[in-house]
Homo-oligomer: A and B are copies of this chain.
Amino acid sequence: MANEEKFVEDIVDQDDNFSMWYNQIVRKAELADYAPVRGCMIIRPYGYAIWENIQKGLDERFKETGVENAYFPLLIPQSFLTKEAEHVEGFAPEVAWVTRGGGEELEEPLAIRPTSETIIGHSFSKWIQSYRDLPLLINQWSNVVRWEKRTALFLRTSEFLWQEGHTAHRTLEEAEERTMQMLNVYRKFAEEEAAIPVIAGRKSENEKFAGALRTYSIEAMMGDGKALQSATSHNLGNNFAKGFDIQFLDADGQRKYCATTSWGLSTRMIGGLIMVHGDKSGLIIPPRLAPHQVVIVPIWRKEKERGIVEEQVDRVEKLLRANKIRVKVDRSDNTPGWKYNEWEMRGVPVRMEIGPRDVQNNSVMLVRRDNRVKEPVSVDALETRLPQLLDEVQQGLYDRALAFREENTFRTESYDEFKEIIEKRGFARVKWAEDTAAELAIKEETKATLRVIPFDQPEGGVQGKCIYTGKPATCEAIFARSY
């Protein structure tokens, strides 16, 4: 047992040092590694399998709304980036530049895409002629590069993977509708697949995307009370259409600028689910995104028991696969105790133990990762019970995360109390008068940023004064420290 204890001891306590806990989990669970190039990451098979499940779930939801996938170049001419003034200002400091290719200095440096509004805008201007070509609904799965000084695996790396959707519309209203529709896709995905409760709302002027008319986001609370922006959806208005001449001939014979949108979700989401669901034993992956939904641990003491156990394990494995349950059998030479610890640490939602007595009873022992509850189940009942149990774990994780967020969200009208909340842990929900200077002052004083102005506002409007300026409040806003 010495080995097993050591295994767990190696992980620091979440409450002592959350970010160290996070880093240890990412490395020990073999989700990702730092690359030899500073700030870049290697996504290992177990981490990438989560990303594949995220991709599958999101891609289906996008396509249901009429979106098609395409692929645009990695490299963007310098002149493109400068066409939308706010955009270039926002991204210029983060860009990596290609200056040599094929043995020669390039005439014009090429940016590695930090995002693709500009190069996609250029294509849209060629593809769109008339209102019949609208709406144009495109998504791209790709890598992007944004040079980062301070990095954390999945959360902030110089290269990351994401999807970026880009759409063009006839009217600003239609663009606004699409912006909200995609935010809603993200919200449902986060809640239903990642079991992460999120707050949907609008970003402040200060926090919006460089070049957007309005940015919306979903914000989640991590296990240390900090916020993570989990996805964003931007109404770009006519800004990029004007920069890239995306015009269409309308039914009335007039040439008009399109209204465009963009929206994205990245490998950050993996960081989010680690920090929302993990506990002191390690990772907990929600069943719908888990690479292995069930891990089977065969148990025997005497060599003569081995045959019947292995036979039953094979039978059960086949049964689960036939039922489209993602199952892993740990056939390694490690002890059962070691395997329990390892797969707990790696967050498999349900463990299945099969020993000689279980074989005799034609049953298995199921153990939930989230609350350790054990449940013997007859093999004949597995096909119905196991999917139910996975749903229960999925729901249990969501409920727990929601309860945690509620417990750590505080309303206050006092700025002193506000500072205490931020210093201690959690979200502060306060009355707000939408003032960038005040927002920056709060950031300076507390390191908290305005995460989101939730859609969910008091009925009949907000009464009272802004927590910082004392001016009449126009809305409620959520402040928190964030990743």
Q: Tell me the A residues contacting B by CB distance below 8 Å.
A: 33, 35-37, 40-45, 48-49, 51-52, 68-77, 80, 92-103, 109-110, 112, 119, 122-123, 126, 138, 142-143, 145, 147-149, 158-159, 161
Distance between Cα atoms of A43 and B71 in the complex (Å): 5
A92: chain B residues within 8 A (beta carbon): 103
Among residues of B, the one whose C-beta sits closest to the C-beta of A76 is B37
A-B pairs with the 10 shortest C-beta distances? A102-B147, A45-B68, A40-B73, A43-B71, A96-B101, A97-B100, A35-B73, A101-B147, A99-B99, A37-B75
Given contacts A43-B71, A45-B70, A52-B69, 17 further A-B contacts (CB under 8 A): A33-B123, A36-B80, A37-B73, A37-B77, A42-B73, A44-B70, A48-B70, A48-B71, A49-B68, A49-B69, A74-B112, A94-B102, A97-B98, A97-B101, A99-B99, A100-B109, A102-B148
With most chain B CB atoms within 10 A of its CB, the pick from A73, A74, A112, A161 is A73
Among residues of B, the one whose C-beta sits closest to the C-beta of A102 is B147
With most chain B CB atoms within 10 A of its CB, the pick from A37, A76, A143 is A37
A100: chain B residues within 8 A (beta carbon): 96-97, 99, 109
Q: List 24 A-B contacts (CB under 8 A).
A: A36-B80, A36-B122, A40-B74, A43-B70, A43-B71, A48-B69, A48-B70, A49-B69, A51-B71, A74-B112, A92-B103, A95-B101, A96-B98, A96-B102, A96-B110, A97-B101, A98-B98, A99-B100, A100-B109, A101-B147, A102-B147, A103-B147, A142-B143, A143-B143
Task: Please give the distance in Å from A329's CB to the nearest CB on chain B.
Answer: 14
Task: Please give the distance in Å from A270's CB to the nearest CB on chain B.
Answer: 11
Contact in complex: A74, B145 (CB < 8 Å) = yes
Distance between Cα atoms of A97 and B100 in the complex (Å): 5
A71: chain B residues within 8 A (beta carbon): 42-43, 48, 51, 161
Distance between Cα atoms of A338 and B71 in the complex (Å): 28
A112: chain B residues within 8 A (beta carbon): 74, 98, 112
Task: Please give the distance in Å from A38's CB to the nearest CB on chain B.
Answer: 9
Copies in the complex: 2
Distance between Cα atoms of A112 and B76 in the complex (Å): 14
A138: chain B residues within 8 A (beta carbon): 45
Distance between Cα atoms of A94 and B101 in the complex (Å): 7
A49: chain B residues within 8 A (beta carbon): 68-69
A126: chain B residues within 8 A (beta carbon): 33
Contact in complex: B102, A149 (CB < 8 Å) = yes
Given that A93-B103, A142-B143, A147-B101 are known contacts, is A159 also in contact with B52, CB under 8 Å in the complex?
no
Distance between Cα atoms of A234 and B126 in the complex (Å): 41
A123: chain B residues within 8 A (beta carbon): 33, 42
Task: Please give the distance in Å from A393's CB to the nearest CB on chain B.
Answer: 24
Among residues of B, the one whose C-beta sits closest to the C-beta of A161 is B71
Among residues of B, the one whose C-beta sits closest to the C-beta of A30 is B127
A69: chain B residues within 8 A (beta carbon): 45, 48-49, 52
A94: chain B residues within 8 A (beta carbon): 102
Distance between Cα atoms of A147 and B106 in the complex (Å): 11
Contact in complex: A41, B73 (CB < 8 Å) = yes
Among residues of B, the one whose C-beta sits closest to the C-beta of A160 is B71
With most chain B CB atoms within 10 A of its CB, the pick from A68, A75, A126 is A75
A96: chain B residues within 8 A (beta carbon): 75, 98, 100-102, 110
Distance between Cα atoms of A48 and B35 in the complex (Å): 30
Distance between Cα atoms of A218 and B199 in the complex (Å): 52
Task: Please give the distance in Å from A204's CB to the nearest CB on chain B.
Answer: 26
With most chain B CB atoms within 10 A of its CB, the pick from A42, A68, A159 is A42
Which residue of the partner chain, among B40, B70, B80, contacts A75 with CB atoms under 8 Å?
B40
A145: chain B residues within 8 A (beta carbon): 74-75
Distance between Cα atoms of A206 and B425 in the complex (Å): 64
Task: Please give the distance in Å from A50's CB to the nearest CB on chain B.
Answer: 11
Distance between Cα atoms of A70 and B51 in the complex (Å): 10
Given that A97-B101, A98-B112, A142-B143 are known contacts, is A119 also in contact with B36, CB under 8 Å in the complex?
yes
Task: Please give the distance in Å from A45's CB to the nearest CB on chain B.
Answer: 4
Task: Please give the distance in Å from A138's CB to the nearest CB on chain B.
Answer: 7
Distance between Cα atoms of A462 and B143 in the complex (Å): 50
A158: chain B residues within 8 A (beta carbon): 101
Contact in complex: A75, B159 (CB < 8 Å) = yes
Which residue of the partner chain, among B42, B44, B74, B122, contacts A159 with CB atoms under 8 Å?
B74
